[in-house]
Structure 1
Amino acid sequence: MSTAATAFATPAPVPPRHLLPTLVLAQLGGTSPWFAVNAVMPELQRAHGYTEAAVGTLSSALQLGFIAGTLLFALLALADRFSARRLFLLSTCSAALCTVAAAVMAHSYTGLLLWRVATGFCLAGIYPVGMKIASQWFPRGLGTALGWLLGALVLGSASPYLLRAVGAALPWQSVFVAVATLAVLAGVAVVRLIPEPPARPGAVPLRLGALASLWRDARTRASVFGYFGHMWELYTVWVLMPLVLATRLQGAVAVSGWAFVALGAGALGCVVGGLLAPRFGSARVAGTQLATSGLCCLAAPWMLQAPLPLFLAWLVLWGITVSGDSPQFSALTATNAPREAVGSVLTLTNSIGFAISALSIELFVRLSATQPLATLLPWLALGPVLGLLALRPLWAAPPPR
């Protein structure tokens, strides 16, 4: 995960007390359509005969839609040229419509695939634009705000599993309707409860030349390539989590419930990491969580056979750390990128990272059909290992005083 949030040189407006809680809840509801299909994939497979690999392709399709959306939004500078609040509302309502359309078209694999691409495109106006709104109101202390906001994103993305567990007796379409409703309510809350900032900066065009700083500047290269390692693991763990749980748990309710617990626990990693970063530094917080999630990958052959309480604790720890470093990678890249091209570097880094995640998802889901998880999951550690090697120059730097 990443964000195009940046700090501005203008004096910070004083945000109303309700602003951050409102934005956190809006981010939670707005991103809830992200894994709607994943939460009901067993029902879709039974009803429409989808293959086991379909979940990977559908997940990758959403990631690719998100990439296209973030690039287009950045090229047109939509969040700068127009009200970010209204853009957020338009995007949440559009994501809701795409989600309902996906439910209606679920009998057609091609139709479902196209609507998931469209949903990902709409999410580009929710997740990054929510970060944009935060940056306008919290140009200082943004790291802590990002911890809360990305924690909400994690919890929102995991929410379809909770909805499926709670509403197990209801048709699977109820999950789509519920997350679509949450998305609309999120957009309405932002427009009705969050005021426009006193001043908004002018539009900054996307600079493709900013890609050069990804390898020319040592500190930027360290944070960006650390993030790429993180993205190799992150979303693939999210997609494979129900499959891992199904090796030990029986029934859709148990699998969905524990998928929400394990993946939603990433919100704790985001928030606590945001609170620790001012003391220890974002690089050390991100590196510690990345190393821990990498060890969770390597521990898979033993944990898959461990007693059930230890097995579940392993997955919760994995969920906490695989997502918890996300805000710190955003903060590191925003801090280290050239001042004149921060937005461009973050947007391009975000797009490359999601492309890596789409490749990883497709590869691991397809291999999971023929390879045992005990053999497959340790290879996810390749991302954290390479990410930690890239992060070493920032890890070695002294923490802030």
Structure 2
Amino acid sequence: MKTRPHILPTIIISQFACTSLWFAGNAIVDQLARKTGLGPEIIGYVLSSVQLGFIMGTLVFAFLMIADRFSPSRVFLICAILGALCNLCLLFEEISQWALLAARFGTGFFLAGIYPVGMKIAADYYERGLGRALGYLVGALVLGTAFPFLVKALSIDTNGAMVIKTTSLLAALGGCTLWLFVPNGPFRKRSKKLQLSAGPTLFKIGGFQKAAFGYFGHMWELYAFWAFTPLALQTFNAMNNKEFPVAIATFMVIAMGGVSCMLGGLLSQRFGSKKVAQSSLTVSGLFCLVSPLLFYLDPLLFMAAWCLWGMAVTADSPQFSTLVAINVPSELKGTALTLVNCIGFAISIVSIQLGSFVLKGVNPQFLFLMLALGPIIGIWQLTKKAINF
């Protein structure tokens, strides 16, 4: 069955628009710090609250099998609008620490109906070439994640309002666009009843288990790398008496990951998702191990190295999602993707908060060494047999 040509571009654009909510708070973290009185620890708090909300959302969505029991496009729309409303709460002139964290938690909760549900929608349309389709889709997510930093760099306001207004509007438009133009896919198999044992059942599938644990290793590194990249740029500036524009440089590093997701999707058509994921983990793991030395490079070489790392750290993400999706029954794809996301993002909170704790006694130059644990675990899992690709 031939898929209509507008489907994949529409999903990609909608995913980009809605996931711009993810780092909207981190892009204006300095302004939020002034409002709330929080110190440097706000970096970890703001992102971890989104991650925690996402985890709780994915738990609810997976437990109730929302994406498999109801129209994914409708779920996407509702969550996009509610996530945008939570994001708009950051515009309040006076906002307490707890209100800030609650707003970011709410945004994360409703992102659980956007990111994994978007992948579920793609899986409902593409049985063949899913690695390529998810490469584009996760690439859109990465670009959406980077987008708030670009808006901040180009904005003339000093209170971050433009970032919040732009990302909220984009999210609402993205939800409406997908709902209007992407109906339920031809390969969708609706689950007609709630299966409370679906999670434990999935982990009994060998291919799913290996793909999931590989993804967990990837997630140990990914969001901590993104969260602390602005700090790494500030540290490089301080060590070398330079003035790198942190916002635009952070956008470039994260955005390059979007490009690598798309390239990885194309390469997966020739070499397979497993090989692309394993190569990506190897390169990003090596960058973790040599990261302290990067701060002594020439500025252009430092930026080039950090951008290459930004590409490697994300290229495996859609391939792990592909491996998860093709190793489970069709009627459980949405639940499988949501469950794996839930656990993966819980792991990312641990690495982010550990990084925040380590910063109290360690020079930021050495912070990224601890992230090597993730690629090591991921590579170990991928060397095992039983993964279908």
- TM-score of the aligned structures, taking structure 2 as reference length: 0.92
Residue identity opposite 2:9 in structure 1: P
Contact 2:80–2:114 (Cα < 8 Å) also in 1: yes
Per the alignment, residue 381 of structure 2 pairs with 390
Asked if 2 retains the 8 angstrom alpha-carbon contact of 1:105 and 1:111, the reply is no
- Out of 284, 305, 308, which is 1:317 matched to? 308
**2:149 aligned with 1:158, yes or no?**
no
One-letter identity of the residue aligned with 2:41:
A
Stretch deviating more after TM superposition (155-164 or 43-52): 43-52
Unpaired runs of 5+ residues, structure 2, are none
| 2:82 alignment counterpart | 94
Residues 168, 253 of structure 1: alpha-carbon distance in 2 compared, 3 angstrom cutoff: farther
Opposite residue 362 of structure 2, the aligned amino acid is Q
**Does structure 1 residue 295 correspond to structure 2 residue 286?**
yes
Counterpart Cα distance in 2 of 1:85 and 1:143 = 21
SS in 2 for 1:371: coil
Aligned to 1:3: none
Aligned partners of 2:114 and 2:95: how far apart in 1?
28
Q: In the aligned structure 2, how far is the partner of 1:52 from the partner of 1:206? A: 44
- Cα distance in 1 for residues equivalent to 2:339 and 2:186: 29
Residue 282 in structure 1 maps to residue 273 in structure 2:
yes
Assess if the C-alpha contact under 8 Å between 2:120 and 2:334 holds in 1: no
Alpha carbons 2:61, 2:338 under 8 Å: kept? no
Q: What amino acid maps onto 1:244 in structure 2? A: A
Indicate yes or no: 2:336 matched with 1:348: no
Change (3 A) 1:105 1:233: farther
SS at match of 1:359: helix
The 1-side partners of 2:77 and 2:139 are apart by: 20
The alpha-carbon distance between structure 1 residues 111 and 356, as it changes in their structure 2 partners (threshold 3 A), is same
Identity of aligned residues (%): 42
Gaps of 5+ in 1: 1-11
Match of residue 200 from structure 2: 211
| Aligned: 1:80 with 2:68 | yes
* C-alpha separation in 2, matches of 1:131 and 1:259: 26
8 Å CA contact 1:92–1:187 kept in 2: the answer is yes
Distance 1:26 1:140, change over 3 A: same
Kindly tell me the number of residue pairs found equivalent between the two proteins.
385
Closer/same/farther in 2, CA of residues 206 and 40 from structure 1, 3 Å limit: farther
- The corresponding residue for 1:6 is none
Q: How many angstroms apart in 1 are the aligned matches of 2:377 and 2:75?
A: 37
Residue identity opposite 1:317 in structure 2: L
RMSD in angstroms over aligned alpha carbons? 2.4
Encode CA deviations 1:258-306: one digit per residue, 9 max, x unaligned.
Answer: 1010011111111111111121121110010011111111111110111
2:254 match: 263
Displacement of 1:76 in angstroms is 2.5
Say whether the 8 Å CA contact 1:164–1:253 is kept in structure 2: no
The answer for the alignment partner of 1:378 in structure 2 is: 369
In structure 2, what is the Cα distance between the partners aligned to 1:25 and 1:341? 25
Q: Aligned equivalents of 2:329 and 2:71: distance in 1? A: 26
The structural deviation recorded for 1:345 is 3.9
**Displacement of 1:134:** 1.4
2:124 to 133, 136, 151: 136
1:369 partner SS: coil
Tell me, in whole angstroms, the C-alpha distance in 1 between the residues paired with 2:334 and 2:169. Answer: 31
